[in-house]
Amino acid sequence: MTATAPLSILAGTLPVLLAGFGVGLSLIVAIGAQNAFVLRQGIRAQHVLPIVAICAASDAALILAGITGVGAIVDRAPVALTVVRWAGAAFLIGYGLLAARRAFGSQTLSAGADGASTSRRTAVLTVLAMTWLNPHVYLDTVLLLGSLANTHADGGGRWWFGAGAAVASVVWFTALGYGARLLGRVFARPLAWRLLDALIAVTMVTIGVSLVVNA
């Protein structure tokens, strides 16, 4: 192996890794009950580590399920990859347009920091329910991320894309849980969510268009 081989591998995998990171982060940061719960527990400094670990590990497991499940379908019927590519592009562009619409709204994430203390068992069961009983998580994480990952099947690209999405989950939930006191003030402002949704819109539409162009 030449000295330039590692750099060549990095150059080939880094864009896919970053694409997975961008898509994963864009899906995870949407306003929802799970994020509000993590933020609330972070502000209270209660059971932050197990909650963050459960959220990140659950996302990783769902991403893995999506990559292997969709990958098996694509291996048996290669034409499915074309369908997946166009369906993924349509979903991403639609999702981006919805985010752009939200950018002109006034949504905030309420942490609900006041109230009684939550036991570790209750906190764990709550975050498990919010994660695994949410039907949207199967659409976003299993179907969408799994499908998009399998558009990068060459050279193990699907796994790099999945790894990027999993890293995005770890980064987001860690920042939300442990940076909650700062983030709680920031995201209590509608302007912060408008800017975040604007960034999500640009990311999603850009990736969706790129899927169409490279089809």
Q: Two tokens at 68?
A: 């292997």
* The pLDDT of residue 5 is above 60: no
The whole-number average pLDDT for the span 14-42 is 84
Long-range contacts of 202-205 (CB under 8 A, 24+ apart): 202/96, 203/22, 203/23, 203/26, 203/96, 204/23, 204/26, 204/92, 204/93, 204/95, 204/96, 204/99, 205/92, 205/93, 205/96, 205/97, 205/100
- What pLDDT shows up at residue 83? 75
CA distance linking residue 70 with residue 20, whole number of Å: 16
The whole-number average pLDDT for the span 20-31 is 85
* The pLDDT of residue 2 is above 70: no
Among 79-93, 120-134, 180-194, the range with the most confident prediction by mean pLDDT is: 120-134
* The pLDDT of residue 136 is above 80: no
Which of the pair, 62 or 153, is modelled with greater confidence? Answer: 62
Residue 59 has φ and ψ, to the nearest 5°, of -60, -40
Which of the pair, 93 or 51, is modelled with greater confidence? Answer: 51
* The pLDDT of residue 184 is above 90: no
What integer best gives the mean pLDDT of the chain?
80
Terminal CA-CA length for the chain: 33
- The contacts of residue 46 (CB under 8 Å, 6+ apart) are 117, 118, 123
- CA of residue 102 relative to chain centroid, distance: 18
- What pLDDT shows up at residue 111? 57
- Of all residues in the chain, the percent with pLDDT exceeding 70 is 81
Among 74-83, 99-108, 154-163, 183-192, the range with the most confident prediction by mean pLDDT is: 154-163
What pTM was computed for the model? 0.73
- What pLDDT shows up at residue 33? 72
- Of all residues in the chain, the percent with pLDDT exceeding 90 is 22
SS3 for 95-164, per residue?
HHHHHHHHCCCCCCCCCCCCCCCCCHHHHHHHHHHHHHCCHHHHHHHHHHHHHHHHHHCHHHHHHHHHHH
